[in-house]
Structure 1
Amino acid sequence: MAGLKTRPTDRSVPDYLAGVAHAARRADAEALTADMEAVTGMPPVLWGDSLIGFDRYLYEQKNGMRAIWPVTGLAPRKTNLVVYIMPGFSRYGALLDRLGPHKTGASCLYLGRLSGIDRDVLNELVARSVEDMRATYPTGMTLTAD
């Protein structure tokens, strides 16, 4: 797995979250971490400096390199709380319509604050994306040197 810069660490997720400077972003990230742990049934793991990931899956990149990545995750950024919906959003339009204010990228869901978001819809979105990922890719992988 050489070449991947973002890898799971042994750093404490609660300690990382305690260090998030913006109080509202910290509270939102703590709440969402708890929700995602409940939805995925997996403990949070800090990947790299700022990605909180849940479970792992193995995929092959276009260049043939195999990689392990979180099945879902979140990152409290300065301007948004980013939720990683790895299958993308094409299957989840009805949920997104009910979610509340958000923006999307390829696999990134950008939320300004959780206060305007329907948390039940967000949890359903995460649950469905995790279910789709687990049906498509081998999950629960461990990192090994190639």
Structure 2
Amino acid sequence: MYELKTKETDSSVIEFIESVENVKKREDAYKLLDIFTETSGYEAKMWGASIIGFGSYHYKYNSGHEGDAPLVGFSPRKANFSLYFATGDTEREELLKNFGKHKAGKACVYVNKVNDIDVDVLKALITQSIQFLRKTYPPQDEK
């Protein structure tokens, strides 16, 4: 049976950010940490070894595959930042038109630095992604 590699852990988000070698990338990681925390309303948690996630949801596909994932998140990779938002949300595509310099994949949006993007659009992307996922995968029980 397939087992997800990216699970929420008890690792320290701050220790992870401090381990980022590039000083400017580390500074941007702290900026993103503040923006995601403030906008999402969730505490940052490590997901796997390198994703900083905010909130979580449980998904179940028609195929029967199911699991847990962060509602939104980011990862300071060597080449760029990977920003994680909901897939399948048409409003995401509209927001990205005014986001600034980025590349978009199916699940990730890639940016080089915070100064390349519109922070207000980032906040809108975070909010929209959480709303979309809460509607698509309603919480089974409120803890």
TM > 0.5: yes
- 4+ residue stretches of structure 1 with deviation over 6 A? none
Structure 1 counterpart of 2:36: 36
- Mapping 1:92-107, distance limit 5 Å: 92-107=92-107
C-alpha spacing 1:140/1:60, structure 2 compared with 1 (3 Å): closer
Identify unmatched segments of 5+ residues in structure 2: none
> 1:99 Cα deviation (Å)?
1.0
Structure 1 counterpart of 2:91: 91
C-alpha spacing 1:87/1:139, structure 2 compared with 1 (3 Å): farther
The question of whether the paired residues in 2 share the 8 Å contact of 1:86 and 1:107 is answered with yes
Identify unmatched segments of 5+ residues in structure 1: 142-146
- Mapping 1:1-146, distance limit 5 Å: 3-88=3-88, 90-139=90-139
Q: CA RMSD in A?
A: 2.0
SS in 1 for 2:46: strand
1:10, 1:91 → 2: CA distance? Answer: 33
1:92, 1:10 → 2: CA distance? Answer: 30
C-alpha spacing 1:140/1:73, structure 2 compared with 1 (3 Å): farther
SS in 2 for 1:99: coil
TM-score by length of 2: 0.90
Please list the CA deviations of residues 59-83 of structure 1 after superposition, one character each: whole Å capped at 9, or x if unmatched: 1145413201111110110011011
C-alpha spacing 1:48/1:93, structure 2 compared with 1 (3 Å): closer
Is 121-130 or 83-92 further displaced after alignment? 83-92
TM-score by length of 1: 0.88
Percent of aligned positions that are identical: 35
